Structure 1
Amino acid sequence: MVIMYSSPVSLVELQLRSNALAGLTLGQIAAQLQLPVPANLQKDKGWVGQLLEQVLGASAGSKAEPDFPHLGVELKTLPIDRHGKPLESTYVCVAPLTGVAGQQWHESWVCRKLQHVLWVPILAERQIPLAERVVGSAFLWQPNSEQQRALQMDWEELMEKISLGGIADIRGAQGKLLQLRPKAANSKALTNAIGAHGEPIRTLPRGFYLKAGFTASLLQQQFG
């Protein structure tokens, strides 16, 4: 029987629950929840996030709202190496590729997801078996005005390219903090988009990701 945890009623309770996980391995947390640990993440990419959502009492599931809706907090795991450096960019959400004209930053899913984030660093170097990866000290973060401005600028630039049919020209190097990258289980999973001459085309779904350099700066800001 899988143990279900109730939703935390306050930010203080969420932080306390997160603190209690620091130093535990993913295997120990999974055992607490009576869940099996997959051999690797190839077929179970979202497993770590789902495990932590469950133990911390996140209630959004797959709904289009933050993981802790009543607190307005999104949960993001952050795989790091032993030097505390992020190992990859962080997925935020799927990018809309049609009907994007007139969309505003403050109404965007990216903006809403990043308004308040619980970051959970995880020591996750490749050679460490999944069950032995260790949870670090989680922290709550809200973008300051400078970070908010930079995220908005990146988003507006990328969305403008999408709406003008420039999807094929967008590279991961674009954007200071935010990048747009293909997000699909395989190359057959195509979606609708706008072509260079305004015509409907089929292309790989794209996702917004936070660059590793940016999340490294958040860790630096938090832990010095």
Structure 2
Amino acid sequence: MIYETEEELLEKAIAAEGSSFEELDKKGRLNNAKSKGGLGHIIEESYFGYEVNSNAAPDFEELGIELKVTPFKINKNGTVSSKERLVLNIINYMEEVQCSFFTSSFWNKNQKILLMLYKWLPNAERKDYQIYKSLLYTFPEADLEIIKQDWETIINKIKAGKAHELSEGDTNYLGACPKGANKKSLRKQPYSEIPAMQRAYALKQSYMTALYRKIIKKEELVSFSKKEELHKLSFEKILENRFKDYIGMSDIQIAETLDIEYNRKAKSSIALLISALLGIKGTRLDKIEEFSKANIQFKTIRLEPNGLPREHMSFENIRFDEWVNEEWEDSSAREKFVTTKFLFVVFQYNETKSENPDRLPHLKGIQLWNMPLQIIDNEVKGIYGEVNRLMQVGLDLKVKKYGKTTRQENNFPKANFNGVAHVRPKAKDRKDTVTLPTGQVVTKQCLWLNREFVAGVLDKTCGNKSRENP
């Protein structure tokens, strides 16, 4: 059927709301074990009546509209999130580098998207999922500016002969995600002989989550960047500009200048300081639109006068039950670093603690950083593999006495394991423990980035001119 207007198409899509996929499946895809493809194929074939295809043109070519059927979920705490990234079209490395943004396959295919959302339920069968809401989505102007910058980042990496090093962490909203049967699904790239994993454009899971928070929960997110700025400057440069006037000030001086309450001992204070620096005083970081959509997580780093961080950098506690039941390529640990961009807010002490016990840290700069894919799939994977090996053979646990106290020691990978990361405790106290798959009980552990590695990541923006970015 040919739809003559957007209104006619949207009316048809809205009519499906409340219907289950079993009710919509007129071709019997759900009952055919050999039938490949997702729930979107049911909507394409049975509801809209066109054949599943891989055309470069949008699904409803006459209207320039692409169809996407995609899930969301309600979390235990009542919040809403996207179940997955929104995968778009395959990137043809050989052809896409010849295009501008507005002649690209991405723009040709996805400038208007008919979204049909269904609610994912953990214990339900696919046939029982129901279409929850249908809407026609076009990118807001500010989002489009960031997406254009993301597209340029992807294309520039391909032009540099590094399509095999593409990672979703390279960009903010628009990612280049793996798309193929397995890691052996490879394609030629134009400026290197190295085969590159087949990838597709995708709107990040974090981007879709922010969108669903607005659509389903009617949440208000606050933006610190404007479309006019984004048209002239990169997202990273705008972020730098928000902080630059405060470089050299102590955290207390910044708080006084911005007229905000500040308690250096309270973990929440630094987050409020950052939102004030961004010009959106009082906004929680999880309510900042750009951070939510780009999956940007901030980390405060305090450097000693010699340029080394005071501490190693910690992440969430390791869920050992997950680690031992996942393959590395599909693991939550890998996904974390592949899809997350970090905002390092860097302070530095001008004196050692022995020189001045009351010393204050001064803002040195900020840096947006994502872990390079080579490090993720080598050093971090090495830690992951060693931990899983220990879960098979059992930890070597010893209790050692230090003066009047005792401490449990283990043979998890230490800071000298590979120079990038290690595993060590992160717990409230010695009673804050976890039972391992081996049955052994240890203090809760987490993955830490070595402070020497973090120092090497920081570029001249943060004052570490003598250190190279890994």
Place the TM-score, normalised by the shorter chain, in its bin: 0.7 to 0.9
Identity %: 20
Provide the rounded CA distance (Å) in 2 between the counterparts of 1:59 and 1:116. Answer: 20
Query: Greater Rg, structure 1 or structure 2?
Result: 2
**CA shift at 1:145, angstroms?**
1.3
Match of 1:29 in 2: 24
- Do 1:182 and 1:205's aligned partners in 2 also have CA atoms closer than 8 Å? yes
Aligned residue runs from structure 1 range 63-212, under 5 A:
63-82=55-74, 83-194=79-190, 198-212=191-205
Distance in 1 between the 2:21 and 2:52 partners?
A: 22
Amino acid at match of 2:20: T
Distance 1:215 1:222, change over 3 A: same
* Residues 147 and 29 of structure 1: CA distance in aligned 2, closer, same or farther (over 3 Å): same
Q: Secondary structure at the match of 2:177?
A: strand
Are 1:49 and 2:40 matched, yes or no?
yes
Distance 1:171 1:48 in 2: 27
Alpha-carbon distance, 1:58 to partner:
4.8
- Between the aligned partners of 1:130 and 1:60, the Cα distance in structure 2 is 19
Question: Residue 86 of structure 1 contacts residue 216 of structure 1 at CA under 8 Å; is this kept in 2?
Answer: yes
Contact 1:193/1:202 (8 A) holds in 2: yes
Q: 1:58 to 1:115 in 2, by over 3 A?
A: farther
Structure 1 residues 101 and 25: alpha-carbon distance in aligned structure 2, compared to 1, 3 A threshold: closer
Does structure 1 retain, via aligned residues, the 8 Å contact 2:97–2:158?
no
Change (3 A) 1:136 1:161: same
Q: Give, in angstroms, the shift of residue 86 of structure 1.
A: 0.7
Q: Hey, what does 1:62 align to over in structure 2?
A: 54
* Cα distance change, pair 43–35 in 1 and its aligned pair in 2 (3 A): closer
SS in 2 for 1:217: helix
Pick one of 217, 220, 223 that aligns with 2:213: 220
Q: Is contact 2:164–2:197 with CA below 8 Å preserved after alignment?
A: no
Structure whose residues are more often strand by fraction: 2
8 Å CA contact retained: 1:60, 1:66: no
Deviations 1:174-208 (A, max 9, x none): 211111122111333322124xxx44222321111
How far 1:8 sits from its partner (Å)?
A: 2.5
2:419 maps to which residue? none
Cα deviation for residue 56 of structure 1 reads 2.3
Amino acid at match of 1:110: F
Task: For residue 168 of structure 2, give the secondary structure of its aligned residue in structure 1.
Answer: coil
Higher RCO (CA-CA < 8 Å; seq separation 6+):
1
> Which stretch has the larger CA shift, 118-127 or 148-157?
118-127
TM-align CA RMSD:
2.3
Separation (CA, whole Å) in 2 of partners of 1:76 and 1:185? 20
Q: Which runs of 5+ in 2 are unaligned?
A: 219-470
Q: Distance in 1 between matches of 2:112 and 2:39?
A: 20
